[in-house]
Amino acid sequence: MLRWQIEIQEYGGNMNIVHKDGNIHKNADGLSRCPLPNNIDNAAYVPEETSPQIPIEGISVKDLHTTFFEEVRNSYTQNNDCSILCQLLTKDCKDNSLIHSLDDIWKKSYYEGRFQLLDHIVYHRDENTCIMTVVDRSLINIVLEECHDTPFSRHLSEERTREKVKTCIWWPMWRKDVAEYCKTCGRYQKANESTLKRLGNMIKIQEPRRPWEIFHMDWVTGLPPGSDRSYNACLVIVDRFSNTPIFLPCHKGDTAMDTALPIWNRVVSWTGIFTNIISDRDAKFISALWRNLHQIFGTKLSFSTAYHPQTDGLAERVIQTL
**Per-position DSSP letters for 129-164, written without gaps between them:** -EEEE---HHHHHHHHHHHHTSTTT-S--HHHHHHH
For 112-122, write each residue's pLDDT tens digit.
888 888 888 88
The answer to whether position 221 is within a domain reads yes
Same domain, 222 and 314: yes
Q: Which domain holds residue 260?
A: 214-321
Same domain, 277 and 229: yes
**The pLDDT value given to residue 236:** 92
176 and 107 within one domain: yes
pLDDT for the residue 239 = 92
Sign of the CA dihedral running 132, 133, 138, 141: positive
Tell whether 145 and 220 lie within a shared domain.
Answer: no
Domain membership of residue 51 (yes or no) is no
Total structural domains within the chain: 2
**Do 92 and 173 share a domain, yes or no?**
yes
Per-residue pLDDT at 180:
92
Same domain, 82 and 133: yes
Low-confidence ranges of the chain (pLDDT < 50): 54-61
Instruction: Evaluate whether residue 166 is within a structural domain.
Output: yes
- Residue 57 falls inside a structural domain: no
Q: How far apart are CA 83 and CA 174, in angstroms?
A: 19
Q: Do 228 and 311 share a domain, yes or no?
A: yes
Rounded Cα distance between 105 and 204, Å, is 39
> How many alpha carbons lie under 13 Å from residue 229 in its C-beta half-sphere?
8
Q: What confidence score (pLDDT) does residue 44 get?
A: 67
Same domain (yes/no): 260, 179: no
Give pLDDT, residue 195.
Answer: 76
Q: Is 218 in the same domain as 172? A: no
pLDDT value at residue 176:
92
